[in-house]
Amino acid sequence: MSQTITIEARKGILFILAGMAAISLNDVLIKQLSGGYALHQIVFARASIALVFTLVLVHVEGGFSILKTRNPVLHGIRGLMLVISNMSFFVALSVMPLANVTALFFAAPLFITLLSIPLLGEKVGVMRMGAVVVGFIGVIIMQRPWEGSDTADIDRIVLLMPLLAALTYALNQVFTRKLGATTKAAALAVYVQGAFILVSIGFYTVAGDGRYAQGVADPSLQFLLRAWIWPSASDCYLLIGLGFNAAIIGYCLSQAYRLADAATVAPFEYIGLPLAVMWGWLFWAELPEWEVWLGMLLIMGAGLFVFLREQQKARQIARTGARGRY
């Protein structure tokens, strides 16, 4: 029996590493496309293509009957939280270094711990609360509050976008705890991709002609509001790759947490941080400054401590991990 468990755990680790590599690649592609296309256009293309692949998984997991639900409102709220999380993350990604945005997003486990108190009625001890405080000290250091708005190279609102992404992702994870016991992973993925498509269509209806982007100089707002355009042939391949990659992410994360317990695979999600540093250096010659390195270490250390402490206390963790933005 132990031999079987060991093999399954190894498979789970391989799947989580593959999923994190795919997430990191997704962020690189989004950042690469952010200079020429609207965010909602990229999200629409990615979600539409990913939905096709996800429906194949629905067929494998039991057919379209698994899409039936008694909680459509809760699924809708969960999907909306994930849409806000992704779009906030990508808005920041268009103007911030990849490593900075990724590190700030890893505050999500800290938010999950705090939200579990009022929303799930969980008790958080002194040690875990202390780790949360340490993690948020890292967040504050990365925000550089000692810099004035006239000297900061990035708008303060944009600096808060990764934290909004982490907070809404944490809310999504709380809802996932309630829904995951009765809904299969492929069905959850279909609802999420559907939410992405609906929100993107809404953006296109209101701002798809670029009327609100005229006269806007801020690159992050340009990314959010610019007009939809027909992609070039080379970019079409990138968009198709994004959709296929999104389907890979969902499959790998689901497989990882199906084959092995969360205590085994979740810590490996932090491989996303060094990957972000590596891609930022290779593609954009970005290396984190000392504030980012320090904040990154504090956030990562606090997140790992909180997770391991929860395992020590034998708490059930029904989340997809610190970084599963899909």
Render pLDDT for 51-77 as a digit per residue (tens, 0 to 9): 998 888 888 878 888 888 777 888 888
- For the chain, how many residues are written? 326
CA dist., res. 123 & res. 139, Å (int): 24
Which of 70-74, 119-123, 286-290 is modeled with the greatest confidence?
286-290
**Which one is predicted more confidently, 198 or 190?**
198
pLDDT for the residue 256: 78
Report pLDDT for 262: 64
H-helix segments, the chain: 2-33, 39-61, 72-93, 98-105, 108-120, 126-143, 156-179, 185-207, 219-225, 233-259, 262-265, 272-284, 290-312
Q: Residue 325's pLDDT is what?
A: 61
Give the number of other CB atoms < 10 A from CB of residue 31.
21
Letter for the amino acid at 193?
Q
State the pLDDT at residue 313: 61
φ, ψ (nearest 5 deg) of residue 311: -65, -40
Query: What is the predicted pLDDT for the residue at 318?
Result: 40
Q: What is the mean pLDDT of residues 302-311?
A: 80
| Contact by Cβ (8 Å): 271, 18 | no
Lowest mean pLDDT among 229-233, 276-280, 305-309: 305-309
Phi-psi region of 121 (alpha: psi -120 to 50; beta: other; left: phi over 0): left
Q: Which residues contact 46 (CB under 8 A, 6 or more apart)?
A: 196, 239, 242, 243, 246
Q: Would you list the domain boundaries of the chain?
A: 2-312
Determine the Cα–Cα distance for residues 12 and 7; give it in Å rounded to an integer. 9
Q: What percent of the chain has pLDDT over 90?
A: 38
Statement: residue 181 has pLDDT above 60: no
Q: Which amino acid is at 149?
A: S
At 77-103, the pLDDT tens digits run 888 988 999 999 999 999 999 999 999
Q: Is the confidence at residue 186, as pLDDT, over 50?
A: yes
Provide mean pLDDT across the span 214-227. Answer: 89
Which pTM was predicted? 0.83
Q: What's the mean pLDDT in 118-145? A: 85
**pLDDT above 50 for 3:** no
Lowest mean pLDDT among 14-18, 88-92, 148-152: 148-152
* Closest to 34 in 3D by CA, of 249, 201, 221: 221
DSSP code at position 138? H
Which of 263, 264, 261, 248 lies closest to 324, judged by CA? 248
